[in-house]
Structure 1
Amino acid sequence: MDGDHLKTLFVLGAMLLSMPLSAAQLDLQLGEHSRTWQTEELLKHPQVQNITIKNDVSYKKDMVYRAVPVAALLSGIKPEDHLQAVALDGFAAELAAAPLLNGEGARAWLAIEDPAHPWPPLSEGKHSAGPFYLVWTDPQAGNISPEQWPFEVASITRMAPVAERFPALLPDPALKKDDPVNLGFALFQKNCLACHRLNGAGDAQFGPDLNIPYSPTEYFGADFLKRYIRDPQSLRQWPQAKMPGFSAEVLPEGDLELLVGYLKHMAGRKIKP
């Protein structure tokens, strides 16, 4: 290869390295209010602003983002609606609409990664949390779970409630609505369903099924199961472990009892997929 070709390749390589990340798009599938947002459009949104997230769930440090209130993007969505945020890697976060529409207290924001100023990688060899990342200010005010912070978001879709889509998750229908098992089922949807299936039901692609062939309540002693939920790495360690710990601020002790109670109940309601 002669000198001119080498020089051309060097210049092309330098240009590629200096190019910013490409812009992305976010698909909002909200019925008659569906639309697709481009990165550039969101960065020019009339409500876009800089926000500071203290001890960001994914980066484990304070972060500053250009962000738009999620409520400003959910045209036509009502508090009783149910949404699913799907990430580029297939992670599917089940989200009640009501917290996303809050204008005070725990407030949801869509952080937008500017291709000209990319965010740092989540860890060595990994991507950033972009192009879009659902973050919260004052999350403690709403007991916001780590599973309610989906990153690499590609779409947000209005869906039928989980109980309608996946009847295999349902507790005994004879139980009253306010039975502790049903309260535990609501906590399961909020904290577990993004990563785990149960009885083969759910859209998750990451963690193991929590009932088939065995429920963790059958192979963990109750105290060890609670400890595992609080701090997975304290019981099992491996390089690719992804399960976050659920602190008492996120999952109060009473809620943890309810969640384990739901899992115990479902151990008696196995339905093979």
Structure 2
Amino acid sequence: MKQIIVLVALILALPAGAAQLIVELEHTRKSWQTDELLKHPSAQTVHIESDVSYKRDMTYRAVPLADLLPGITAQNHLQAIALDGFAAELAAAPLLEKHGSRAWLAVEDPAHPWPALGNSQHSAGPFYLVWTNPQAGQISPEQWPFQISAIKQMKTVSERFPALLPDPTLAPNDPVNRGFALFQKNCLACHRLNGAGDALVGPDLNIPYSPTEYFHSDFLKRYIRDPQSLRHWPQAKMPAFAASVLPDTDLELLVGYLKHMAGRKQP
């Protein structure tokens, strides 16, 4: 009974609408409350042009994400986990940059909530990874996870999910391996492949069939560029991938990886 009373007291002590972010790294684990982040010494107001989620300019109170990742190096790998099952795979190197594209954790102030997203009743909060000058680093829409609940240090995708790997006899710089890197950056946050991955949003891209098996290649590229141009429905979640974030050469490499994996199905 005493433990329950203490827990209730802690909940009542939190401001209405406050949230908690878990940052779980190899050697440390930290729980951040909304008010702690809003008062963080590095917190500042940032202006985001053409915000990926809101499709317009936005202003946030935000903390440089690198300041919340003690001990992380450019060689490490992280995952941002959202409340809806979206699991963004994030190479650490871009998150640590202080020039060019810069990553920020936007924090929703319960006293000044953000607008709802589309027809949803929910905003992008309580925590949202946003970028200033995203064009400099060709930051993908999948690198803007919103409604984040946790950020965790993980082993690399290749180590965790061998079912995603191309033929091991291919050279490291083979176009298929380069396409695999693009798949991790742009697709794995929403999709699994061969049943491998942590995402719970979109369908598997190889089981039972790869999209390269039922889409003519040109239509598949058009679909990736603008999903709503081929399959339009209000509840669709897949974003468009403009040439500014996924150039034509990269799109070719990505489709090449999917074609290659169509021949490497695993039960």
TM range (shorter): over 0.9
Aligned to 2:242: 247
For 1:149, the aligned partner's letter is W
Aligned to 1:44: 39
Aligned to 2:251: 256
- What does the per-residue CA deviation read over 1:170-193, in whole Å, with 9 as the maximum and x for residues that have no partner? 000000000000000000000000
Question: In the TM superposition, what are the counterparts of 1:113-132 in structure 2 within 5 Å?
Answer: 113-132=108-127
Aligned to 1:95: 90
Deviation, 1:206, is 1.2
For 1:154 and 1:267, the matched residues in 2 are separated by 34
Query: Secondary structure of the equivalent of 2:256?
Result: helix
Please report the TM-score for the alignment, with normalisation by the length of structure 1. Answer: 0.91
Aligned to 1:16: none
Deviation, 1:33, is 2.7
In the alignment, structure 1 residue 209 sits paired with structure 2 residue 204: yes
CA contact under 8 A between 1:21 and 1:118: conserved in structure 2?
no
Deviation, 1:34, is 1.8
Aligned to 2:143: 148
For 2:141 and 2:119, the matched residues in 1 are separated by 21
For 2:137 and 2:19, the matched residues in 1 are separated by 30
Q: Please, which runs of 5 or more residues in structure 2 have no aligned partner?
A: 1-14
For 1:243, the aligned partner's letter is M
For 1:194 and 1:115, the matched residues in 2 are separated by 27
For 1:239 and 1:43, the matched residues in 2 are separated by 34
For 1:109, the aligned partner's letter is W
Percent of residue pairs bearing the same amino acid type: 74
Which structure has the larger Rg? Answer: 1
For 1:230 and 1:94, the matched residues in 2 are separated by 21
Match of 1:227 among 213, 218, 222: 222
Deviates further, 206-215 or 170-179: 206-215
For 2:51 and 2:70, the matched residues in 1 are separated by 27
CA contact under 8 A between 1:33 and 1:76: conserved in structure 2?
no
Query: Secondary structure of the equivalent of 1:36?
Result: strand
Q: Which runs of 4+ in 1 moved over 4 A?
A: none
- What does the per-residue CA deviation read over 1:29-74, in whole Å, with 9 as the maximum and x for residues that have no partner? 0122321111111011111000000010000000000000001111
For 2:100, the aligned partner's letter is G
For 2:213 and 2:72, the matched residues in 1 are separated by 40
For 2:118 and 2:169, the matched residues in 1 are separated by 47
Aligned to 1:238: 233
For 1:175 and 1:264, the matched residues in 2 are separated by 15
Tell me the matched-pair count.
Answer: 253
For 1:185, the aligned partner's letter is F
For 1:165, the aligned partner's letter is R
In the alignment, structure 1 residue 164 sits paired with structure 2 residue 159: yes
Query: Secondary structure of the equivalent of 1:29?
Result: strand
